[in-house]
């Protein structure tokens, strides 16, 4: 398994380490519920060095990105981050990713860890096919990434950041210095809390990690594993690649219609236009358990004995204090309040479709 630059720190903290997409990652340091609450109530620090970063530069960067991304980025300004998806010819999702704009001819793409190599090959092929004048560089190994999320994050991070963080808007970013080293800081994340994603030299990212934990001690800041990262994102109804979305699920099926502009040309758009017209065969919804039990990924869902879909993610959600999940269902069963049955170890347990997200920061 690959190790991030922070691996020795996780081991020293006594974290439980698991294989996540080929990376040895901390799933929890204490326990998931405690880490989840720390993030919502104080702030949590996450090692996200495993994720991929590519720079894309050149005279035709804009045209290239418009061709590979479902989202129309024409209105994206320098200093803004946009969530988008890469689509394949069948309209399926190659990956969901964030797009950072540094200049008209310079962007950065931040990808999932497990899909990074696939994404790079996909982007290189798309470039070669059409001969776009762009240079794609994989800077993942040189780039360290920390997510620092929760109400206490800004005041702690500000102490070691050169520029004022207050003016950085949600899904905005700055090029600044953190602990005196060049860094990119965006106000964004995957937890539903206010917080930041921090990018800096992977050989020195550990210094930032250590300093945030030291400065944050009094505020209750703690390191958070992937277990709580998953419950935090699920409470917010956010997708996880390989679960809610994959190469065979389209953005229209996967609650990514809002980042899909069928009015522009991009890879797979014809398929998506047809799907939009004909109607999607399945939709992604949120559900909560009514009967006793916790639904887990791949559990079958039925209605009146007929199969209607499958759970994509399910867990016990610490903040909403319920067993919840997301599922792909036939569209006629997606209305809020629809009663469904989830098969748990051979027994049908009642659940109902509910509105997403389960949790919204007040």
Partner 1 sequence: MAKPNPTDLKYTKEHEWAKDNGDGTVTMGITDHAQELLTDIVFVELPAVGKQVEQGKQLAVVESVKSVSDVYASVSGEVIEVNTDLENQPELINADAFTGGWICKIKMTNPADLNALMDAAAYDALIKE
Q: Is 34 in the site for partner 1 (CB under 8 A)?
A: yes
Instruction: Provide the 3-class DSSP secondary structure of residue 281.
Output: coil
Q: How many other C-beta atoms lie within 10 A of the C-beta of residue 30?
A: 17
Q: Is 31 in the site for partner 1 (CB under 8 A)?
A: yes
Cα–Cα distance for residue pair 310/301, rounded to 1 Å: 5
Determine which residue in the list 311, 315, 340, 351 makes contact with partner 1, applying CB under 8 A: 315
DSSP state of 15: P
Q: Distances in Å between the alpha carbon of 68 and those of 120, 213, 280, 305? A: 12, 39, 22, 41
Binding piece for partner 1, criterion CB under 8 A, among 48-56, 61-69, 154-162, 314-322 = 314-322
Contact 243, 237 (CB under 8 A): no
Per-residue mark of binding to partner 1, 230-249 (x: CB under 8 A):
xx------------------
Binding piece for partner 1, criterion CB under 8 A, among 32-40, 120-128, 183-191, 236-244 = 32-40
Least distance in angstroms from the C-beta of 156 to partner 1: 26
The closest alpha carbon to 151, from 230, 238, 221, belongs to 221
332: Cβ contacts below 8 Å, ≥ 6 apart: none
Binding piece for partner 1, criterion CB under 8 A, among 63-71, 121-129, 238-246, 310-318 = 310-318
* 130 or 292: CB nearest partner 1: 292
**Could you tell me how many residues make up the chain?**
362
Q: Is 192 in the site for partner 1 (CB under 8 A)?
A: no
Annotate 25-62 with DSSP letters as a single string.
EEEESS-HHHHHHHHHHS-EEEE-TTSEEEEEESTTHH
Determine which residue in the list 6, 15, 27, 326 makes contact with partner 1, applying CB under 8 A: 27
Determine which residue in the list 128, 167, 335, 345 makes contact with partner 1, applying CB under 8 A: 345
Determine which residue in the list 33, 215, 290, 320 makes contact with partner 1, applying CB under 8 A: 33
* 38 or 66: CB nearest partner 1: 38
Q: Is 125 in the site for partner 1 (CB under 8 A)?
A: no
Per-residue mark of binding to partner 1, 260-299 (x: CB under 8 A):
--------------------------------xxx-x---
Axis crossing angle, helix 32-41 with helix 226-235, rounded to the nearest 10: 60
* 233 or 283: CB nearest partner 1: 233
Contact 57, 246 (CB under 8 A): no
Q: Is 20 in the site for partner 1 (CB under 8 A)?
A: no
H or E, element range at 91: none
Residues found near partner 1 in the complex (CB under 8 A): 27-28, 30-34, 227, 230-231, 292-294, 296, 315-316, 318, 323, 345
């Amino acid at each position: 398994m690959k190790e991030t630059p922070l691996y020795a720190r996780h081991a020293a903290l006594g974290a439980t380490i698991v294989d996540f997409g080929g990376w040895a990652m901390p799933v929890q340091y204490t326990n998931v519920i405690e880490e989840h609450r720390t993030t919502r109530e104080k702030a949590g620090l996450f090692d996200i060095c495993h994720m991929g970063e590519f720079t894309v530069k050149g005279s035709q960067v804009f045209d290239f990105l418009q061709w590979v991304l479902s989202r129309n980025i024409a209105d994206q300004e320098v200093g803004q981050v946009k969530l988008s998806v890469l689509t394949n010819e069948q309209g399926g999702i190659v990956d969901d990713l964030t797009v950072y704009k540094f200049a008209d001819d310079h962007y950065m793409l931040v990808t999932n860890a497990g899909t990074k190599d696939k994404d790079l090959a996909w982007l290189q092929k798309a470039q070669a096919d059409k001969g776009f004048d762009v240079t794609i560089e994989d800077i993942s190994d040189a780039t360290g990434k920390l997510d620092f999320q929760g109400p206490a994050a800004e005041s702690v991070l500000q102490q070691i950041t050169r520029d004022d963080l207050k003016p950085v808007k949600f899904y905005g970013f700055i090029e600044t210095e953190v602990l005196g080293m060049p860094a990119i800081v965006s106000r964004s994340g995957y937890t539903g809390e206010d917080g930041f994603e921090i990018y800096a030299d992977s050989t020195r990212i550990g210094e930032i990690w250590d300093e945030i934990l030291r400065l944050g001690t009094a505020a209750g800041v703690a390191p958070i594993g992937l277990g709580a990262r998953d419950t935090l994102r699920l409470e917010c109804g956010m997708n996880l690649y390989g679960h809610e979305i994959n190469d065979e699920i389209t953005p229209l099926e996967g609650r990514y219609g809002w980042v899909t502009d069928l009015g522009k040309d991009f890879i797979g758009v014809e398929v998506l236009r047809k799907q939009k017209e004909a109607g999607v065969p399945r939709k992604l919804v949120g559900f909560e358990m009514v009967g006793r039990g916790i639904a887990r990924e791949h559990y079958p869902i039925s209605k009146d004995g007929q199969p209607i879909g499958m759970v994509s993610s399910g867990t016990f959600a610490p903040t909403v204090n319920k067993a919840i999940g997301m599922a792909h269902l036939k569209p006629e069963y997606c209305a809020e309040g629809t009663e469904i049955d989830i098969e748990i170890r051979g027994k049908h347990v009642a659940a109902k479709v509910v509105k997403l997200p389960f949790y919204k920061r007040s």
